[in-house]
Structure 1
Amino acid sequence: MRLRLLGALAALSLLPLSGTTAVASEIGWLDCGDGLRCAGVTVPSDWASPKHSTPITVNLAKLPARDQTRKLGALLVNPGGPAAAIPGFRLSKASYAELTQWFDVVMFDPRGFGAGDGVSCPSPFPAAVDSPLERKAFTDYREANANFARSCSPGMGPLVGKVNSWQVARDMNAIRKALGERKLRYYGNSYGTVFGQTYAELFPHNVERMFLDSVLDHGERRLFEWMAPMAATTERNLHRFAEWCAKAESCALYGKDALAVFDRVIAKAPVPAPGAGSGVTVSAGTIAARVADQTAERRWPALATALAEADAGDATALSRAPQQPPDNSLARTMLCADFPFDAGFVGHKAIEEQLRRTVAPRVGWADPVWGMTGHCDGLPKTGTHPPHPIRPVGLPPVLITSGSNDTITPVEHGKRVAAQLPGSRYLPATGGHAVYRGGNPCVRRHVHRYLTTGELPAPGTSCPAV
């Protein structure tokens, strides 16, 4: 879930059912294909005034436990985004299959997403623009954001100002009751960890087990401190890429100092990009942003080739941002309600320069400032639930993990959240985003033991790469 890459998953069919539910037997589960059972739970559009608000439906999809007579109950899951979760559940249910040894795995679409009551805005939210920030680009982007919000608002109906994790956590509690569960078992991944943190704050006594994977910290209010770990991890990954190139014969820069090549390309900028059009050149800032986008391991071969070509005088491969499908969902709306950072041009520019000076001089500075927070500028500050530290009383121990190389939800975020939740355990793991779903056997073993027995990994435990 890099926030600049937010986009709803491909739409697939779901049949939401209306009707307020109180116990599990009253949920009208229907077979909806792909081995799933689907239903819906009716909730107030505004939990601050439930008796006077229009009801909405939250969609559910269940992958049933293998043995219904011996199951431990339901495990509520949200994989992140924020996005419609159920379409992706259909495609990735194999990654949750082990959990059906013990649980009905129940996925939910956050309010405003998915079939039925999901909102589709007239146009996609505007795509992020590269750093370094320029005032005109910032001003244009801010106005585009405001236009997106204005165009989307009429279709939101009663959800205007009601799409945030505070409302979603209350939806989750209604789902818990509807499933007939005395206490909640929850597995939140990526943005789903924001929902988990809010639920832990609001309903600590209703939690039985909670596993948070790839955590986005909703406790840090200082923008620089929130972004710095993302930038630092991106910078570290560039160094890991250079080490790989020095050893891997498949790298287009094999045997070379890849960092020196990068520095040389930056020094040459602007670099011609003939494949992008006659007279097109690529600036140093754009090169840094493109490289920052490609520091994940799976992209290293392409990054090496692009740098080799740019070093030879052709930066075509570094001239364009990765193509993302247009997203006309409420992803931007929910993100910016939970993280309403709006530092303005001067504030963002100062953070960009501070990151470049103190944390990530080559590439880490080029992505988080605009891609992670700048895109909230211009959106209305209504119905927000901004970051704040929490100290939930009565919460049982929570299990938290993050991948060491994850630039999207860096390890520092997970550690900070673990420190706020008394008795919780942070499980370090080598890897990238979504460690459990990525199949790390060590992480899976500890998660299964925790979810079924409550036993946490021993202090000092860590999990190696797959």
Structure 2
Amino acid sequence: MKALFKLVVAAGLFAAGAGTATADEGPAWRECHDGLWCAEVQVPADWTSPADGSRVAIPLLKIPARDRKLGVLLVNPGGPAAVIPNFGFPGYRDQFADLAARFDVVVFDPRGMGVRCPTANPAPMPAPVTESAHREHTAANERFAVDCADAMGAYRGRLNARQVAHDLDAIRGRLGERRLNYFGSSYGTVYGQAYAALFGHRVGRMYLDSVLDHTRRDPADWARAGAVTAEHNLHRMARWCAGNAGCALHGRDVLAVWDRVLSMPAVDASAVLSWAGARIGDDRIWPTLTAGLAQAEAGDLSALTPRPGPPDFGLARTAFCADFPHQDDFATVRRLEDRLRAVAPRLGWAKTPWQVTGHCSGVPRVGLNPPAALSAMPRVLIANGEHDPLTPAEHGRRVAAQLRGTYLPTAGNHALYLRGNACVRDHVHRYLWTGALPAPDARCGAPG
């Protein structure tokens, strides 16, 4: 997941249930991706005024149920991104195969995620944030919006999760389902929260994996849990290295080495923070991290050399910034960074989820859907990895408490079900097939 990373009162949002589709003729399915089925459903471009006639298409992919079909399970594995093209790869589609034991698994791509803009989004700002870098990043986000205006078309100001939740209810109606069964992972949990807020009375079974909390308005409170988790992971890596003779820094103080490397004159500290921050959430990469630190201390900086990723021509950032419209002036961004540094001084302050410190600066404030509290919907199952800095466990616990759902503590990282945690998968299958939730004392360990 890319990560991919304002306290505004949004006007003119939706009345719950407004313009919701009812069942009519189902989607026109066609074979795709070697034995799967694809279709599109047409929905209003703007659910605040669905009668204006403007429509957009929502892509769908279906994996048919193998036995004793219970109904349809609508799935979004996160992003936000267009994921249906990935089903051409067997390794990707295999992650979803077990869900199709009893359900038609229908995966949807969120509105607008197939749009390709003529210029790329600007790269994330380095940490620490400087006023000049923030000014340049803000201007680049503004230029991106102008350059992409034609390609964005009817999607402008209509990419937020409330719009997507209405799309989900339209899909439910087109599929002939009385209730929505939903599996959301990572950013897909934001859509699940929006659907629960608008259409909770229509939810059948809902599993939210690696929840990104959309209930907390204060950006520092929202980002703090991820920063602290990343910092904790750095300390966990140091303890792992002390007890593992195969670690490149075994027998040495890993945190002291970290501090020395970041203070070396030849080292670009922001590059080290970016390099380590992208990897610290995965225990399996700790050997590579510690080896890179050992090489850097010895003068070989090759492991820390930034390797730019592919340019991003999509609208994921635009959608994210509509759902998390935090304040973005430089003074506020700098104060937020300072608050995070106070609780996560070595790494976590720079590994804030979704680049919250200035990520959205300059993105037009249109179609906003700021975080809001949720009402009770107690039959929901939620699981977050306790070592996941991107969607930290505190986010899952907070959303579960508001929904009064069942929270499954898990000693893992991100995307627990899709990355194969057998314990989590067993609980999820039992819940989806039978409705049985885990016992109050249930807990899952990290995958073996």
Would you say same fold, with TM above 0.5?
Answer: yes
Q: How does 1:221-370 map to 2 (within 5 A)?
A: 221-267=217-263, 269-271=264-266, 282-295=267-280, 296-320=282-306, 322-357=307-342, 359-368=343-352
CA contact (8 A) 1:133 1:370 kept: no
Provide the secondary structure at the position in 2 that maps to 1:250.
coil
Question: How much does 1:360 deviate?
Answer: 0.6
- Which residue pairs with 2:13 in the alignment? none
Structure 1 SS opposite 2:313: coil
| 8 Å contact kept, 1:21–1:27 | no
| Per-residue Cα deviation, 1:208-260 (whole angstroms, up to 9, x for no partner) | 11000000000000010000111111111111111222222332212222112
Look up the match of 1:98. Answer: 98
Task: Report whether the alignment pairs 1:382 with 2:366.
Answer: yes
Change over 3 Å in CA distance of 1:414–1:89 after alignment to 2: farther
Q: What residue is the counterpart of 1:129 in the other structure?
A: 125
- Contact kept, 8 Å, 2:337 with 2:357, in 1: the verdict is no
Cα separation, 2, equivalents of 1:307 and 1:108: 41
The one-letter amino acid of 1:203's match is F
1:325 Cα deviation from its structure 2 partner: 1.7
Residues 112-191 of structure 1: matches in 2 within 5 Å? 112-114=112-114, 119-191=115-187
Q: Distance in 1 between matches of 2:33 and 2:52?
A: 36
Runs of 4+ that moved beyond 4 A: 20-25
Contact 1:207 1:396 (8 Å CA) reproduced: no
Displacement after TM superposition at 1:130 (Å): 1.3
- Structure 2 partner of 1:49: 49
> What amino acid sits opposite 1:112 in the alignment?
G
Check whether the contact 1:89–1:107 (CA below 8 A) recurs between aligned residues: no
SS, match of residue 358 in structure 2: helix
Shift of 1:2: 4.5
Q: Distance in 2 between matches of 1:236 and 1:90?
A: 38
Determine whether 1:425 maps to 2:406.
yes
Take 2:330 and 2:302, find their aligned partners in 1: how far apart are those partners? 29
Distance 1:130 1:257 in 2: 27
Which position in structure 1 is the counterpart of 2:388?
406
80-89 vs 306-315, which moves further:
306-315
Deviations 1:89-123 (A, max 9, x none): 44312111111111000000101123xxxx21111
User: Which amino acid is 2:329 matched to?
Assistant: G
* 8 Å contact from structure 2 (residues 334, 357) kept in 1: no
44-53 or 284-293, larger mean C-alpha shift: 284-293
The RMSD of aligned alpha carbons is 1.8
SS of alignment partner, residue 181 of structure 2 = strand
How far off its partner does 1:294 sit?
A: 2.5
1-side partners of 2:276 and 2:155: how far apart?
38
Distance in 1, Cα, partners of 2:354 & 2:400? 27
- What is the CA deviation profile of residues 140-181 of structure 1, one whole-angstrom value per residue up to 9, with x for unaligned ones? 011000001111112111111111101000000000011110
8 Å contact kept, 2:230–2:277: yes
TM-score normalised per structure 1? 0.89
Identity %: 51
Give a deviation string over 1:298-343, Cα, whole Å, max 9, x none: 32222112211221133332242x4322111110110000011133
Q: Aligned to 2:217, what secondary structure does the other structure show?
A: coil
Q: Which amino acid aligns with 1:212?
A: L
Instruction: Specify every segment of 5 or more residues in structure 2 that has no aligned partner in the other structure, as ranges.
Output: 6-19
Q: Hey, what's the Cα distance between the residues in 2 that align with 1:147 and 1:168?
A: 26
> Do 2:353 and 2:389's aligned partners in 1 also have CA atoms closer than 8 Å?
no
SS of the aligned residue for 1:407 comes to: coil
Given the alignment, which residue of 427, 447, 457 partners 2:428?
A: 447
- Residue 23 of structure 1 deviates from its aligned partner by 4.4
Q: Matched residues in 2 for 1:315 and 1:129: separation? A: 21
Q: 1:285 deviation in Å? A: 4.1
Amino acid at match of 1:87: P
Report if aligned partners of 1:129, 1:370 keep a CA contact under 8 Å in 2.
no
- Residue 145 and residue 301 in structure 1: after superposition, are their counterparts in 2 closer, same or farther (change >3 A)? same
Give, as a single letter, the amino acid of the residue that structure 2 aligns with 1:341.
H
Using the alignment, how far apart are the partners of 1:21 and 1:139 within structure 2?
A: 43
| Superposed counterparts of 1:1-40, under 5 Å | 1-4=1-4, 23=23, 26-40=26-40
Shift of 1:56: 1.1
Question: How many residues get paired?
Answer: 430
Residues 21 and 41, structure 1, Cα contact 8 Å, conserved in 2: no
